[in-house]
Amino acid sequence: MKRLPASACALAIALALGACASTTKPGVVGAQRQQLMLVSADAVEKMALVNYTQQNQQAKAAGRLVTAGPEYERLSRIAGRLQKQVGTFRDDAVKWHWQLVLIDAPILNASCAPGGKITFYSGLVRQLKLSDDEIAVIMGHEVAHALREHGRERVSKAYAQNALSQAALTAAPNSAAQVEAANQVAHYLYVLPNSRQNESEADGMGLELAARAGYNPNAAISVWNKMAAANKGKAPAEFLSTHPSDQTRIAELSALMPKVTPLYEAARR
């Protein structure tokens, strides 16, 4: 038989091992799918932090970075309660350096970068007139993407397909090459839409986080109905471009209510 090159063997072994990885505990919603993880969490977090810092610097320069006041304090309080529950899915996340930024812009969007870096836009809260419960399920959904390492999973797939190089992932800190590489990685972290499977996982895990934190999980249904109403007859909002809102999604969320409602009731006692 023809012998494979050592590099090819190493990649095959890495693929096999990576396919056996699951980054989180299942919780009551049962997120147990095995994931392909070829790129280290540290490498992805470093690149994500470069983008997160750039985003915040640009918002600050434009006078749009909110770091105090009632809106920020409200989001910070909700984030704090959710963060106390992340150990449900992974123990190490309790020690992440969690951060929250609020950007004052009429954009329907929110995200959580790898390592626990949350971004909310004021347009999402104001235009949809979100309640605390609704903010919690949205934020829980985004936090779940970070806990489940969906971004790292997409970057790993790109690496396996030679769309990203090892050099890009290990660029020297604070160098022009790192900024360029971080922007390339950001394409897989933020621009490409999540798969239906990833979205379902984040929906379920986010719902459980919110319920455990004492927020009504039924708010998830009202959130997606508000999203649909806000975008009726318009081009999809940025938030919806990677977070499809449809009857299937609402049905899936409704099916999870018997699992998470007891957690909410227990948290409210």
Residue 235 has pLDDT above 50, yes or no: yes
The answer to whether residue 202 scores a pLDDT higher than 90 is yes
pLDDT single digits (tens) 68-91:
999 999 999 999 999 999 999 999
User: Which pLDDT does position 173 carry in this prediction?
Assistant: 64
C-alpha to C-alpha distance for 79 and 167, rounded to whole angstroms? 35
Residue with tokens 């660029």: 171
More confident residue, 229 or 71: 71
Provide the pLDDT for residue 194: 72
The strand pairing partners of 120, in sequence order, are 102, 110
Q: What is the pLDDT of residues 9-33, one digit of tens each?
A: 444 444 444 445 678 888 999 877 8
pLDDT over 60 (residue 136): yes
Catalytic residue among 142, 149, 199, 208: 142
Q: Per-residue pLDDT for 162 more than 90?
A: no
Q: Tell whether the torsion through CA atoms of 242, 247, 249 and 253 is positive or negative.
A: positive
Specify the residue for token string 């390492």.
149
Residues 6+ apart with CB under 8 A from 109: 119, 121, 123, 124, 237, 238, 239
Rounding to the nearest 10 degrees, give the CA dihedral for residues 174, 178, 184, 188. Answer: -70
pLDDT at site 112: 95
Q: CB–CB of 144/26 below 8 Å?
A: no
Residue 17, token pair as written in the block: 């091992």
- Whole-number mean pLDDT of the chain? 83
pLDDT at 120: 97
Q: Has 142 been annotated as catalytic?
A: yes
Q: Give residue 192's pLDDT band: very low, low, confident or very high (50, 70, 90).
A: low
Region 219-240: what's the mean pLDDT? 73
Cβ-based neighbours of 204, under 8 Å, separated by 6 or more:
27, 29, 30, 31, 144, 252, 256
Question: Mean of the pLDDT values across residues 133-161?
Answer: 90
Cα–Cα distance list, 257 to 207, 262, 264 (Å): 9, 9, 10
- Is residue 59's pLDDT more than 80? yes
Strand partners, 121: 103
- Which phi-psi region, left, alpha or beta, contains residue 95 (left: φ > 0; alpha: ψ -120 to 50)? alpha
Name the one residue in this structure whose structure tokens are 């309640």: 131
Contact yes or no for 138/212 (Cβ under 8 A): no
State both tokens at 19: 């396919």
Confidence band (pLDDT; 50, 70, 90) for 129? very high
| Backbone conformation region of residue 214, classed left if phi is above 0, alpha if psi is from -120 to 50, else beta | left
Q: Evaluate if pTM is beyond 0.85.
A: no
- Poorest-confidence range of 70-79, 111-120, 151-160? 151-160
